[in-house]
Amino acid sequence: MSAWLEEVAWNEEGLVPAIAQEVHTGQVLMLAWMNREALETTLQSGHAVYWSRSRQRLWHKGEQSGHEQVVKAIHLDCDHDAVLLLVEQKGDIACHTGRHRCFFKRLEKGNWTSVEPVLKHPNSIYGKSG
């Protein structure tokens, strides 16, 4: 086991939250989860790999959509319980909704309002219908 992995404060499920931030703009693109294997694979491959809690398997960002994240740097926060990935987002879409980033809703006057456009409809990204 790599010593640097032992410095991460993994939660009870063996996961750590991972924030993807666009390296050139500083925009926060998304929040996902990583286990040890995902973090180690990310370091080795240079591409973001997360742990899918819904599918219970490794999720190589962009494996279906082609919207990969090339990792430029990996940071650990001061409490060792969150990871920050500085990434170059391929295809300009990080969110499964077809938006540039997952944080597209803003609280305005007590309501969540979508403030960023859909760049590409999810059906055309993932081939789903309905």
C-alpha closest to that of 66 among 44, 98, 39, 40 = 98
Q: Cβ distance 66 to 90 under 8 Å?
A: yes
Q: Is 96 annotated as a binding residue?
A: no
Q: Is 91 annotated as a binding residue?
A: no
Taking each continuous run of H as one helix and of E as one strand, the counts in the chain are 3, 8
Q: Is 92 annotated as a binding residue?
A: no
Q: Is 79 annotated as a binding residue?
A: yes
Q: Cβ distance 16 to 83 under 8 Å?
A: yes
Binding-site residues from annotation for Mg(2+): 77, 79, 81
Binding-site residues from annotation for Zn(2+): 78, 95, 102
Binding-site residues from annotation: 77-79, 81, 95, 102
